[in-house]
Structure 1
């Protein structure tokens, strides 16, 4: 069924991970292939396949046979191959592991650009300013265990004085983008649930890219026992599958229901590689000078000669890029480590309680995820699914480090007994939304891979603590909650700014729009769009001023995702220290007013009638088929969603 309904999408996922898209799309896909081919994922998939237990190898063989049988049974090949005038290539066992690799690429940052940006900032900024801009949390934190973190103090005038600094003029400032492929999952224990006969309730909403066709494939698997009546199946599993894999990714087997969100732990590190000054083919490893391993990779390109590239690898991983000072960097990524990928996830299909499910999830070879599970006995549990690296040595994993000291680096995998785990909390409630989940002592285990601001988690937590009893529809209403609680104080700040005397008639109109806002991120809301744009403009203005030196010294610098920057910026707005005010403004009030003017001006560029500039106009969905951008509009419109 996967092959007959989704083979082209399966094909794209294996090709994305293997760096083989150019064979279909030609030179346009070559940069993507060259970037991902550095990780040699097809070669690793073959190695990992041989390391799987015999039953999992047998499952992949059976799946391969079924996929190819289904594909060959079609009277005509899937239509994307007709449009591209190509032929589908038969499925092999390693391709399913490449599909898992593709999820690592989706859920992790395959070029780890966040830590590259942090490294550049760390080297160029005063330490107090760096810590103030990049801290790990504050008052919005909503972890499952522990308290909110304390945000560092504002740098002193001695540490950083923007008023006396010759800030370079920036022709193209950095863009502030805090979008994050996020999800949420939450659960309530059986004693809080109604109409479940004591079973727990689990909600999950995985916010991966919307695409045509959908990434996930709804599936129900019923296994019959030939010795029992069909009215009593041996198993009945309902959920979603990922075409390319023979497994229910998440769902329920009528004993448990399980769910995932991306954990955004730190599962990629950069290693600063010291090359031998007399022989650049050698590097200093943990046991002395080592030869750099070289692998030749051939990238097939449709309608063009093949491209040959050389991959350079160290004992830690491939050399992928250079640090801000030119030092080569090798990537250490959980996805590339032996034991990182397996099919243990399928064992959840036969788990009978949350404790069994946790043991399975912790050993599963998959991108590390927040795992929330409930069972029919009313129990609920949270832990991390997927393998976690065990770090040793005194180094900051958010920054590139020298691992030539044998005591520094990764020492295999964390033992499941040391995984953070919460079972049946006293409150009977669990929640995650891509934010920090654990107390500061356990954060060192998971790391900070750019986890999200706690605002979404707080909204979910507060909602599930606002009721004593829950039905399934109650949890659905929480998933559909579009109150913009994060923006309430920004709305108040904007109203205060608009109340200044001497404002024009236009600002009176804006004030009227804002006065009637109901606090929701609604499709027809102009106010939400203004408030949201205002917040982003203030943050972008300040970050451009504070990183101007970085941008001047490193023209290719890209601002890393600073998910917690809300804490820093709001403290500046509250305390308004003069030495942190950009020189182009005379006061903090004037900066805030200027940001508001810029937002209104941006809306007016589209039309003088700002009452038509709704959030829905900006936040429209453009759900496209992967082929449509390569085809004429009259064909593309039949492939894309409206």
Structure 2
């Protein structure tokens, strides 16, 4: 017996030793790809030595004798820290993910092939000006110099992920950078989803009720839209359209965001006479889906035009938002309507033809082969009409609005082969004044952005990006999919750049944008009917006008503001008849629980603080309320409304145009009141909270439900590995606060924070080197690096790091200096 026990101990010990050795070996392989920042390397492609000085936050400050050498070094630094991210984004836009991930990404690859973005990027290289082409070439050489070193010195394949997905990495080329910029356009777009949803809702509800659930932003209204089914008289029966499918997108790395999770951002600026220190001010925090690492990478470039510092996108040789010594700029999604869905009538005698104003015409066609790991290749037939690429119904839920005998095509300014957006981005980075910044945007095509900019004296906001020129007689104003064979629905080029909104030196001395409605102009110069915000703008206006003059600190305070104007508006309205109920109900009863929750909300000021219980009660209540209001009228289509629609609820409880009819449950005999529905929804919410977080309401924490989900996009769902690669943080804010933390809206964790400010910057030209910035994770994409998440803790606490152009400050506390020297002539 003793002998058996002894052998068991030896066996277990051996297994443990082998496990430790295996882990040590895995760690050794993974750590091989951690870059050594304190190094001197000879590389081919440089004209002169260049330095990459990384400050104590791992922000590279790049010094070289020529601009091309600086771009080379930026490519080198991007590849050192974000190679996996760059390769994944490139494969996404190429439609080649399935070569690495198998059938999980087949749907993603198919969509990207049909959009044909990579071929369009290749065609756009020659459209750039000479300086931009040289920068793209130099940047590609820098990326490839790091790839060569990884291969020559066996540096762990460049990133730990490549041990799991060991496909060869092809050299970087200039078209790759343009393609990644186009990929951002796909991720920021949202008008196609709005068109499809509006069409589907119009098939289910009458016109007044469509205006309730999909209301126009405050301002002048629009002419009534046609009933969607009536656009196709051959198929007037709504039941002949496919069912709407709102199941979560299961394709890995699918680039199209859920409704409400496309582009969003904040930016505001103050003129010298509204600044306490007499210098212009600018704050900017662009919002994107969270990931680990974040999409942004901080960098400083020392160019011939002067030093520039800010946020870069790995794969792109430009600072896309930031500042120089005399000019600063920030980006917000403009929501310019640059997409239209066209319904094409197929020739029943020849499915390769569709109807046009000139009769049936052939589609342009090309076959494309998608190679799939561990499966047979898939061949798809790519087709284009005059209006754009044909998109199958499984994408964007187009099947639900495409009648039999028709297909859907997509018109989009992004789908251009002479796209000079990269040139515009490079010119904007090198601008020295607001005048030059506005002029730089002339070449920009997509994704359309609002650029808030300042120089030493002037503030401005300019919308950049191509605006489609539509016919004034367009059947749907671009708000619904339209018959593609009708001449009046077709685009007729682009509007002039001067037609894009522009605000320079406003009399109030403040300019800003929270994705709110910018202006009211008649169609077709309307810019958009669908905007990204109707709530944050209320709080922003209050904070800006509440002070006669502003400081860097007041701009930071606004950027981090967590008061929800939506909560302040809706709670008194929805709970008007619930707050005072007479005597206290018996302990433990639903009435008592409701009273406890209402008591908490009655004393709450609307702050979405992570440590408070009230935000969770409020959000659960409004979510349950909206579900009760729309579920019976809309059926399965109600599931697409993941987030609370504040204007809808306000319309219902103010009975705007008879909207209180939503409170009545259609299937029941009694006529329910809005007060009854509010009470029942609160009970629903409290039951849900009891099941998920417990019944002690005072001890609830909003942050427990509202964790920021900086998850690895590929490894984030894998057991064990997810604990190493995902970054989860308790956060304040919510859907409608300036410190925006957009919730997922999907069960089982509907309040996870999935979309927000991955970058924040505040620039003060009274003292430029006191400017600040931060990202939401860290500079490195390597999960074994201490710089993988070191900025994330600061970001969560609302802290920033210095944004200085002082080279001595960068060198004083650097974590390493990489010196690259020429090894030979350029190729």
**1:214 partnered with 2:325:** no
CA contact (8 A) 2:127 2:420 kept: no
Which residue of structure 2 aligns with residue 164 of structure 1?
none
Give the superposition deviation at 1:202: 0.8
1:308–1:114: structure 2 CA closer, same or farther, 3 Å change rule? same
Which residue of the other structure, out of 573, 584, 587, is the alignment partner of 2:673?
A: 587
Within 1, Cα distance between the matches of 2:497 and 2:644? 29
1:560–1:432: structure 2 CA closer, same or farther, 3 Å change rule? farther
Secondary structure of residue in 1 paired with 2:288: coil
Give the superposition deviation at 1:360: 1.0
1:180–1:245: structure 2 CA closer, same or farther, 3 Å change rule? closer
Which residue of structure 2 aligns with residue 62 of structure 1?
138
Within 2, Cα distance between the matches of 1:567 and 1:511? 22
Secondary structure of residue in 2 paired with 1:304: coil
Which residue of structure 2 aligns with residue 446 of structure 1?
527
Tell me the TM-score normalised to structure 2 length.
0.68
Which residue of structure 2 aligns with residue 475 of structure 1?
555
Within 2, Cα distance between the matches of 1:563 and 1:397? 24
Which residue of structure 1 aligns with residue 824 of structure 2?
none
CA contact (8 A) 1:113 1:560 kept: no
Which residue of the other structure, out of 158, 164, 177, is the alignment partner of 1:96?
A: 177
1:90–1:476: structure 2 CA closer, same or farther, 3 Å change rule? same
Which residue of structure 2 aligns with residue 294 of structure 1?
365
**1:239 partnered with 2:310:** yes
Give the superposition deviation at 1:641: 1.8
**1:641 partnered with 2:727:** yes
Q: Deviations over 1:71-108 (max 9, x none)?
A: 21233122221243333222122111110111011111
Within 2, Cα distance between the matches of 1:515 and 1:589? 17
Q: Deviations over 1:380-405 (max 9, x none)?
A: 11111222222224222011112324
Within 1, Cα distance between the matches of 2:605 and 2:211? 36
> Which piece of structure 1 moves more, 345-354 or 116-125?
116-125
Which residue of the other structure, out of 522, 525, 531, is the alignment partner of 2:618?
A: 531
CA contact (8 A) 1:517 1:525 kept: no
1:55–1:610: structure 2 CA closer, same or farther, 3 Å change rule? same
Which residue of structure 1 aligns with residue 21 of structure 2?
none
* Higher Rg of the two aligned structures: 2
> Which piece of structure 1 moves more, 298-307 or 364-373?
298-307
Q: Deviations over 1:254-291 (max 9, x none)?
A: 12100101112221101111222322221122443211
Matches within 5 A, 1:356-375: 356-375=436-455
**1:422 partnered with 2:503:** yes
Q: Deviations over 1:123-161 (max 9, x none)?
A: 3322232234323113xxxxxxxxx346999xxxxxxxx
**1:627 partnered with 2:714:** yes
Matches within 5 A, 1:113-152: 113-138=193-218, 148-149=219-220
Which residue of structure 2 aligns with residue 598 of structure 1?
684
CA contact (8 A) 1:120 1:324 kept: no
Secondary structure of residue in 2 paired with 1:517: coil
Within 1, Cα distance between the matches of 2:651 and 2:722? 48
1:632–1:89: structure 2 CA closer, same or farther, 3 Å change rule? farther
Which residue of the other structure, out of 403, 426, 429, is the alignment partner of 1:325?
A: 403
CA contact (8 A) 1:202 1:373 kept: yes
Which residue of the other structure, out of 78, 91, 102, is the alignment partner of 1:15?
A: 91
1:105–1:136: structure 2 CA closer, same or farther, 3 Å change rule? same
Within 1, Cα distance between the matches of 2:535 and 2:190? 22
**1:24 partnered with 2:100:** yes
Secondary structure of residue in 2 paired with 1:274: strand
Give the number of equivalent residue pairs.
Answer: 594
Which residue of structure 2 aligns with residue 314 of structure 1?
385
Secondary structure of residue in 1 paired with 2:411: strand
CA contact (8 A) 2:265 2:285 kept: yes
Which residue of structure 1 aligns with residue 798 of structure 2?
none
CA contact (8 A) 1:24 1:84 kept: yes
Q: Which runs of 5+ in 1 are unaligned?
A: 139-147, 154-169, 225-233, 552-556
1:129–1:356: structure 2 CA closer, same or farther, 3 Å change rule? same
Matches within 5 A, 1:365-404: 365-376=445-456, 378-395=457-474, 396-404=477-485
CA-based RMSD of the aligned residues comes to: 2.8
**1:47 partnered with 2:47:** no
Which residue of structure 1 aligns with residue 752 of structure 2?
none
Q: Deviations over 1:477-524 (max 9, x none)?
A: 000110122111333233741423575322232233223423200101
Which residue of structure 1 aligns with residue 516 of structure 2?
435
CA contact (8 A) 1:272 1:402 kept: yes
**1:248 partnered with 2:319:** yes
> Which piece of structure 1 moves more, 468-477 or 79-88?
79-88
Which residue of structure 1 aligns with residue 237 of structure 2?
none
1:51–1:286: structure 2 CA closer, same or farther, 3 Å change rule? farther
Matches within 5 A, 1:161-240: 181-195=263-277, 198-223=278-303, 235-240=306-311
1:289–1:562: structure 2 CA closer, same or farther, 3 Å change rule? farther
Q: Deviations over 1:189-221 (max 9, x none)?
A: 1222233xx431110001212222221111111
CA contact (8 A) 1:17 1:36 kept: yes
Give the superposition deviation at 1:564: 9.7
CA contact (8 A) 2:189 2:263 kept: no
CA contact (8 A) 2:334 2:448 kept: yes
1:567–1:638: structure 2 CA closer, same or farther, 3 Å change rule? closer
Within 2, Cα distance between the matches of 1:259 and 1:150? 30
Q: Which runs of 5+ in 2 are unaligned?
A: 1-76, 225-242, 249-257, 394-398, 586-590, 729-827
Which residue of the other structure, out of 284, 288, 310, is the alignment partner of 2:355?
A: 284
1:12–1:604: structure 2 CA closer, same or farther, 3 Å change rule? same
Within 2, Cα distance between the matches of 1:623 and 1:562? 20
Which residue of structure 1 aligns with residue 190 of structure 2?
109
Within 1, Cα distance between the matches of 2:414 and 2:601? 47
